[in-house]
């Protein structure tokens, strides 16, 4: 698709294009396209930029990942399609393991996502040969590896569904979720919720990780307060938009 860079929706259209290509290649599931649409709607309300609460959460996430014993980044089809290089750079910077974990898991899709990450420089991507299971999740969705997600103490799960986010928390893990919807079950279940678009959030975490290397851990992040502020921001944005229509 040819879209001029000056187009006001250029970034958004490029992301859609990447997802359409990834869907055609079998890397992204149909439901992944719908999930992206829900994210876009929230991004629209947030002004399509990183809000201060998200920046604070990204800094907290970087510190938690740097101080973890076994930090793991869980990757799904959408995230791999949207920002594979950024994922690899973050994994190398921390350093953290990459594990592919899909809601609609098939061996074929697993191989596609892993192959795509490898094409962008990833090494030793976990997930294809699961040997452990997350308790309280039905079979395919709970599959993971002992080396990675199962024993991770800090796990970054961009775009997670609520059930898995809760199950990971119940295992005692520190969970960092990236989700543009501050109202989602995942957002509310996480230790740290980054209300930001994933292609902005991942490079931001990497930058903070570079700055925070060798420094002591940051103080505990107040996730509820950050979610409240993100919801206030959306409420105020809607109110301003409503006011622009005048009284009546």
Query: Binding residues for ligand ATP, per CB under 6 A?
Result: 35-36, 38-39, 42, 82, 159, 161-162, 178-181, 184-186, 197-198
Is the CB of 26 or the CB of 162 nearer to ligand ATP?
162
CB 163 to ligand ATP: min, Å: 7
Cα–Cα distances in angstroms (integers) from residue 216 to residues 120, 188, 210, 211, 213, in the given order: 32, 27, 13, 12, 9
Is the CB of 35 or the CB of 64 nearer to ligand ATP?
35
CB 108 to ligand ATP: min, Å: 21
CB 162 to ligand ATP: min, Å: 3
Is the CB of 72 or the CB of 82 nearer to ligand ATP?
82
| Residue 180 CB neighbours (<10 A) | 26
Q: What span, in angstroms and rounded, lies between the C-alpha atoms of 173 and 29?
A: 27
Is the CB of 91 or the CB of 167 nearer to ligand ATP?
167
Q: What span, in angstroms and rounded, lies between the C-alpha atoms of 57 and 9?
A: 26
Contact 76, 112 (CB under 8 A): no
Is the CB of 144 or the CB of 230 nearer to ligand ATP?
230
Longest dimension (CA), the chain: 61
How many CA atoms lie less than 13 Å away from 176 in the CB half-sphere? 31
CB 34 to ligand ATP: min, Å: 7
CB 216 to ligand ATP: min, Å: 30
Burial 183-217 (b: 16+ CB within 10 A, else e): ebebbbbbbbbbbbbbbbbbbbbbebbeebeeeee
């Amino acid at each position: 698709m040819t879209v001029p860079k000056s187009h006001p929706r250029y970034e958004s259209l490029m992301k859609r294009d990447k997802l359409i290509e990834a869907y055609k290649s079998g890397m992204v599931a149909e439901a992944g396209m719908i999930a992206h649409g829900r994210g876009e709607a929230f991004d629209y309300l947030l002004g399509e930029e990183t809000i201060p609460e998200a920046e604070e959460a990204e800094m907290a996430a970087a510190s938690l990942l740097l101080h973890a014993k076994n930090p793991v980044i869980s990757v799904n089809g959408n995230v791999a399609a949207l920002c594979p290089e950024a994922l690899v750079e973050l994994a190398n910077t921390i350093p953290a393991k990459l594990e592919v974990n899909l809601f609609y898991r098939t061996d074929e899709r697993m191989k596609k996502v892993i192959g795509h990450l490898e094409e962008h420089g990833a090494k030793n991507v976990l997930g294809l040969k699961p040997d452990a299971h997350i308790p309280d999740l039905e079979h395919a969705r709970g599959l993971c590896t002992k080396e990675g997600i199962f024993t991770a103490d800090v796990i970054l799960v961009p775009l997670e569904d609520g059930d898995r986010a809760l199950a990971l928390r119940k295992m005692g893990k520190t969970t960092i979720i990236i989700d543009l919807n501050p109202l989602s079950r995942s957002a509310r279940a996480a230790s740290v919720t980054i209300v930001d678009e994933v292609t902005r959030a991942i490079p931001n975490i990497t930058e903070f990780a570079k700055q925070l290397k060798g420094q002591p851990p940051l103080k505990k992040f107040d996730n509820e307060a950050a979610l409240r502020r993100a919801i206030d921001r959306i409420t105020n944005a809607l109110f301003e938009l409503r006011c622009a229509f005048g009284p009546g």
